[in-house]
A and B are shown apart, each in its own frame.
Chain A
Amino acid sequence: DAKTTQPTSMDCAEGRAANLPCNHSTISGNEYVYWYRQIHSQGPQYIIHGLKNNETNEMASLIITEDRKSSTLILPHATLRDTAVYYCIVRVGGSNYKLTFGKGTLLTVNP
């Protein structure tokens, strides 16, 4: 699986949009971009994934650049409960392919 680069930490004000970047310059054509998050003392939670088109669900939006070398996870109205470590993972799609986690980005939402 391609490696990813994420900032170690970010801050965001409550109610504002949180934009979390991820670089994946060596991504292959059949690899998807996945985002998970891990709230303190909990297991990771799936957020969203995409291949090349932008994706949106009830939790977040995923913007993937046209060359697919980077992406941004957007939490449109961050709350205190969104404080967590966010992991960007690139992998071949389907459940039979393992998740390889990096260190992720610690997002702290401040009141």
Chain B
Amino acid sequence: NAGVMQNPRHLVRRRGQEARLRCSPMKGHSHVYWYRQLPEEGLKFMVYLQKENIIDESGMPKERFSAEFPKEGPSILRIQQVVRGDSAAYFCASSPPEEAYEQYFGPGTRLTVT
């Protein structure tokens, strides 16, 4: 059973471009969480999704950021018109439907905005 997969592992974007980060949860997991880790800081919760539903987006910036978890395919975190302050490591985690405590983390995508 493959673990949580994220791609790309490293992403470089210029200011104003769009960044798309993908997260494939573990098999059988229907819950996905996205976190952002800024340099020198801990993980900060962004959004919690189930298939085709956003459960909690209290940590998402109001503008430019969006997330989806379609019925088929990976979860996508989308950042439009990136700025330098978006440079960070973005982690996703997945959990099975019956045990929300068990979050398994992906290796992260390190976004650099130049």
* A complexed with B: no
